Structure 1
């Protein structure tokens, strides 16, 4: 098949490569053998070496075995970015268990769905989240709740001050131990540190059940094998070929519970003997301080993270010149944000693309060679992609808009216990992404939007990203998102939600005039709503569906108000 993107591969990046068929946790063993005393983790002032991390992971793996966890059983991890999240992840993989990453922000209803669907038999969580887990336990297969605390890995004197701060913030740290509720630190202290690494079939055995965000319905568990995750980690490593093993410092602001953070931060840093600077909660002042003080070199993130950094009023006080590589994912990266960030730091910020079903990365712009603003770049090594007609499935020529489909070693085995949806997503070896896109003559791909997000107004197809790009270019706009809302005449019409920069203001009339000189009239927003902030996910992705739900609620209320009272 013709692959025009291959001519844009850097000489240092192979078109194809070998990916080891092994237990994913072996990355940690291999790196420790090479760099035992190198810093693996940095957490709020405390450093953990690779030797210490491996010892802790072995202890946790043996502790899991001791309480009866066996190969193939699911272990949920409900933690922010902290040392325990890394220890629990690799420890579970070492015994052949399947990790289920669980969002610490989940409320009982969301938590119950994921635990029941996955059949998890154990969960690792924080003391401040214990009550939430305990409330749903009886409705799940959970046999054990393993509890830890942020305090456990804090340096002196932060560890002593933590309880006081937690009480001040109203955190409930009460845990009732016994009856299957265990203390993680006590388990590890009693556990044997003997090496353990379960032999697995890398291409068949699952390492991870990673749940989709649920933007198109109930969250589904993507079955990702050890081989899927190893391949995507190695592909990401090959793409960043100028990075030096044992020298890079990774800013882990993306949560590991999101597959993007798990692959391009946790797995990649461990495989490349990097140091992970763990950020349990995204706070922009702390991010700036970390970059300045520790000379961070790699900072994968979501666009909103870079927007926050660019617009921070005190950013000039911090030296950001150590940054070499930033890979943006999880949402479209506005071209203006990319330009401003690179001007500010001197580093390279590129847009990539992926989805949970592909571990997640399939495309990225070149970091140091040819790239294109607004493009998601070109397919990774050993990854194929094409644009097809969403109805017929026929491949479309360059420039035509259709559905993006991908193929590669990182593509999932299917959806957990959902054979019909698996058959719909995986056809003939191709993963149907549900994203509307196009490829240009050079083989660079462009995402226009999810099929569900496309707005059809008066018979015209409108892709929100195109409109958002124009809004982001306005000097007063900090954040912008566009949705299609019901319209009696056009079917749908375009509405824009705007967050202005702190030192700027703009009116709806001014934005309308701005857009009309840059967009066809049918794409110009008909309504504007100004807000102080937009609803976002844990990784900073704007929750378009939340805005749509608000609009639907308003429409329903308006209709209800027009009904004649029954007599």
Structure 2
């Protein structure tokens, strides 16, 4: 299969159907496909060929939809940039991937000069915003208007579709290579496991479209002929207004977003009865928040997806029916239809049901590998099994429970933060002698980034100083939200920092090491 297959089907069967809605812009399937074919032609005229990387740094819009399809239509490779990253992180990912073309909107146009200086291989920047075009950028709409539409290359199967950068255990982001087969398998397998997107419905993209969770929702929407409605970024008011104005049937939100939405008194004043499905992920939802959410969305079924970018992204699903059982609300669900899931010991042998081990997964959703990192790829994928780095257990009915993270990772508000990235930034502060970064419980974000810092003798460091120092080096969501000043860090006999000991004082009351 190939990603653009759904476009040809939609064009053949219902060309007048609404494909995308963004504000006042409404485009039919026929209009959308014509623009996609022209954008692909424009990229080809700029020298983009099969396998070349094309990046986008933008808020959500209908043009993001066109970008995904046009790059695939051309046979090139998408590289969606994390909008929360610092310019250093963005530049690293563009240089590492050898990206030549960058699409950017109004919000991020001001960052382009710094990115250009750091990325000499970046040959062209295309402005897709609605404001005035900067002089040194090409205009998105003009390119589409001038270009001739080209034939779809129908690139698919094991050909590379995208490089999706995620946090790195070495302190730098690493590119996850996903093929057409990977992302289509995950989308179809999830839909087969449970109806989480309405056939012919309206999907709202409120979560960031660079993130693979929202991309999964986009992919599933394409397969069932949905209309894609986009708002620039999540706000409770923006979601409410979109649902009311467009009859939204399906939502992808992280639990933090759900909580913000249902805790806002104005939500109760809006008719949300069009919503049929709410898919969430990144962490389990508390029973109290779920009860409030069900009251706010009385017609919606809730489902939880667990996975990771390296799995394209879905591994397990806690279905709508599962949510009617309170004893399952801490579970991450059971294997989706396209995945095998096991809990294994350090030697890769499956452990008995109920025993704790590492969660591993196998199937067509497992990534092709890490971009230019064969060693890390070989370490992550062993015998076809993707090692998630999550500690978990499986009950006698196949439900998976995540109980710890083997990888040194924090999940805050649905975003992955690798501790080493934050520690590398902190270590550059002149007052910091040593440090350790951990995740601690947070009622709003699930976990928050917390730093334990040992200052150099005679030096002090405050939260304000830490924040100011880190802002230039790492994304805002990675910056520690709280710190502890210590005289020393607990060490093992081999000199390794015992982070479990640091976490213990914060997590003892929860009975787990993850939210």
TM exceeding 0.5:
yes
Match of 2:76 in 1: 97
Confirm whether residue 450 of structure 1 aligns to residue 430 of structure 2. Answer: no
1:176 aligns with 2:121: no
Could you tell me which residue of structure 1 aligns to residue 163 of structure 2? 209
Q: Does 2:476 correspond to 1:546?
A: no
* C-alpha contact 1:25 1:94 (8 A) present in aligned 2: yes
C-alpha contact 1:80 1:104 (8 A) present in aligned 2: yes
* Larger displacement relative to structure 2 (99-108 or 302-311): 99-108
> Which deviates more, 61-70 or 126-135?
126-135
Equivalent residues in 2 for 1:508-547, closer than 5 Å: 543=477, 546-547=479-480
Q: Secondary structure at the match of 2:9?
A: helix
Distance of 1:312 and 1:399 partners within structure 2: 39
- Decide whether the 8 Å contact of 1:399 with 1:440 is kept in 2: yes
For 2:46, the equivalent position in structure 1 comes to 67
**Equivalent pair of 1:385/1:406 in contact (CA under 8 Å):** yes
What are the Cα deviations for residues 113-133 of structure 1, in whole angstroms up to 9, with x where unaligned?
010110001111114423312
1:547 is paired with a residue whose SS is coil
Contact in 1 for aligned 2:357/2:393 (Cα 8 Å): yes
Q: Give the TM-score normalised by the residue count of structure 1.
A: 0.72
Residue 56 of structure 2, aligned match among 52, 59, 77: 77
Partner of 2:126: 146
Partner of 1:218: 172
For the Cα contact (< 8 Å) 1:388–1:395, is it kept in 2? yes
- Between the aligned partners of 1:336 and 1:109, the Cα distance in structure 2 is 40
Give the alignment partner of residue 358 of structure 1, picking from 307, 311, 318.
311
Select which of 254, 265, 270 maps to 1:313: 265
Query: What SS class does the counterpart of residue 250 from structure 2 fall into?
Result: coil
The 8 Å contact of residues 339 and 363 in structure 2, kept in 1 or not, is answered as yes
Give the CA deviation at 1:286: 1.9
What aligned pairs does 1:427-442 form with structure 2 within 5 A after superposition? 427-442=382-397
Gaps of 5+ in 2: 411-437, 455-462, 464-474, 490-515
Once the two structures are overlaid, the 10-residue window that deviates more, 75-84 or 285-294, is 285-294
Q: Specify the alignment match of 1:189 in structure 2.
A: 145
Distance verdict in 2 for CA 1:480–1:422, change over 3 Å: closer
How far the C-alpha of 1:334 sits from its partner, in A, is 2.3
Q: Give 1:201 deviation, angstroms.
A: 5.2
2:20 is the counterpart of 1:33? no
Q: Residue 222 of structure 2 aligns with which residue?
A: 270
Alpha-carbon distance in structure 1 between the residues aligned to 2:376 and 2:183: 22
Distance in 2, Cα, partners of 1:317 & 1:287: 13
Do the aligned residues in 1 keep the contact of 2:164 with 2:309 (CA within 8 Å)? yes
Q: In the alignment, is the contact (CA less than 8 A) between 2:451 and 2:480 conserved in 1?
A: no
Shift of 1:382: 2.7
Q: For 1:122-150, what per-residue CA distance to the aligned partner results, in whole angstroms no more than 9, with x for missing partners?
A: 1111144233123222442111111121x
Q: Residues 211, 487 of structure 1: CA spacing in aligned structure 2 closer, same or farther, 3 A cutoff?
A: closer
Q: Contact 1:26/1:197 (CA < 8 Å) preserved in 2?
A: no
Determine the C-alpha separation between the residues in 2 that align with 1:483 and 1:136. Answer: 27
CA distance in 1, matches of 2:342, 2:359: 6
Partners of 1:77 and 1:89 within 8 A in 2: no
Equivalent in the alignment of 2:379: 424
Deviation at 1:341, TM superposition (A): 1.0
1:373 aligned to which of 329, 332, 344: 329
User: CA, structure 1 residues 244+454, in 2 after alignment: closer, same or farther (shift >3 Å)?
Assistant: closer
| 1:407 lines up with 2:340 in the alignment | no
Structure of larger gyration radius: 1
Contact 1:31/1:271, CA 8 A, preserved across alignment: no
- State whether residues 283 and 446 of structure 2, in contact with CA within 8 Å, keep that contact through their aligned partners in structure 1: no
Deviation (angstroms), 1:263 = 1.3
Specify the alignment match of 1:491 in structure 2. none
**Counterparts of 1:77 and 1:238 in 2: how far apart (Å)?**
31
SS of residue in 2 equivalent to 1:207: strand
How high is the TM-score relative to the length of structure 2? 0.79
**Of Structure 1 and Structure 2, which has the larger fraction of its residues in strand?**
2
Contact 2:318 2:332 in 1 (8 A): yes
Q: Say if 1:213 and 1:253 are closer, same or farther in 2 by CA, change over 3 A.
A: farther
Contact 2:280 2:304 in 1 (8 A): yes
Q: CA distance change for structure 1 residues 216 and 298 in 2, over 3 Å: closer, same or farther? A: farther
Q: C-alpha displacement at 1:94, in angstroms?
A: 0.6
**Correspondence for 1:233:** 187
Give the deviation of 1:239 after TM superposition: 3.0
SS in 2 for 1:106: coil
Q: Which SS does the other structure have where 2:321 is aligned?
A: coil
Deviation for aligned residue 1:439: 0.6
Residues 107 and 556 (structure 1), Cα distance of their counterparts in 2 relative to 1, 3 Å cut = farther
Helix, strand or coil at the partner of 2:16: coil
Q: Is the 8 A contact 1:107 1:132 kept in 2?
A: no
Structure 1 residues 236-245 or 421-430, which shifts more?
Answer: 236-245
For residues 52-95 of structure 1, the C-alpha deviation after alignment (integer angstroms, 9 at most, x for no partner) is 11111001001111111100111011121111111111111111
Q: Could you give the per-residue CA deviations for residues 407-453 of structure 1, whole angstroms, max 9, x where no partner exists?
A: 11111010000011001100000000001111111110111232245
Q: Secondary structure at the match of 1:192?
A: coil
Q: What's the Cα RMSD here? A: 2.8
Paired residues in the alignment total: 438
Please name the residue that 2:103 is paired with: 124
